[in-house]
Amino acid sequence: MSILNFLADRERVKVRYQRGMRVTPGGMDYDENKDYTVIEVINLSRRPVTIKSIGGEYLWKYGGFLSSNSLRDGQVTIEAGKNHSILMEESIILWNDMDSFTAYNVTGKTYRAPVARFYIRWAWYTFKFFKKLFTKKSHP
């Protein structure tokens, strides 16, 4: 029984995104004539999860980006069965270089929603592995 409780209490978070969304006219500070990507973080576990920031990672370029909305909101605690969404302008995202959208919790765990196709991601991570394997390290 304790194994079943352990498995049921695991942290399960899903990240997903939707492209090409528009904001209806109203009191929000978003432009209604621009396309936005909605990044949604969903807590599927029985315990609350605290998300520190939301952003994305690039394949060919090392690094990525953080959403200014997630930095402005600060840490967000998502209760069991609830979600948290942010909007990002599509024009600033380099879609051809995207690896995944990511959400980071306060303990350092990363949750991903892959953007690039499987075979592109596989080729990139294989390239990185062999590059790291055959690159000589200089010792001071």
Q: The domain spanning residue 36 has which CATH number?
A: 2.60.40
Which residue type sits at 88? M
Neighbour count for residue 10 (Cβ, 10 Å): 10
Secondary structure percentages of the chain, helix, strand, coil, to 5: 25, 40, 35
Specify if 55 maps to a domain: yes
pLDDT at 35 over 80: yes
Q: Which domain range does residue 47 map to?
A: 2-134
State how many domains the chain has: 1
Specify if 140 maps to a domain: no
Q: What is the pLDDT of residues 79-104, one digit of tens each?
A: 988 999 988 888 888 888 888 999 99
Torsion of CA 128, 129, 133, 135, to 10 degrees: 0
Buried b (16+ CB within 10 A) or exposed e, 104-139: bbeeeeebebebbeeeeeeeeeeeeeeeeeeeeeee
User: For the residues 8-23, what does the mean pLDDT come to?
Assistant: 86
Beta bridge partners of 49: 78
Q: List helix spans (H) across 37-89.
A: 68-73
Specify if 6 maps to a domain: yes
Q: What is the pLDDT of residues 100-132, one digit of tens each?
A: 999 999 888 999 999 988 888 888 888 888 888
Specify if 102 maps to a domain: yes
Specify if 24 maps to a domain: yes
Specify if 88 maps to a domain: yes
Specify if 139 maps to a domain: no
On average, the pLDDT of the chain sits at: 85
Specify if 93 maps to a domain: yes
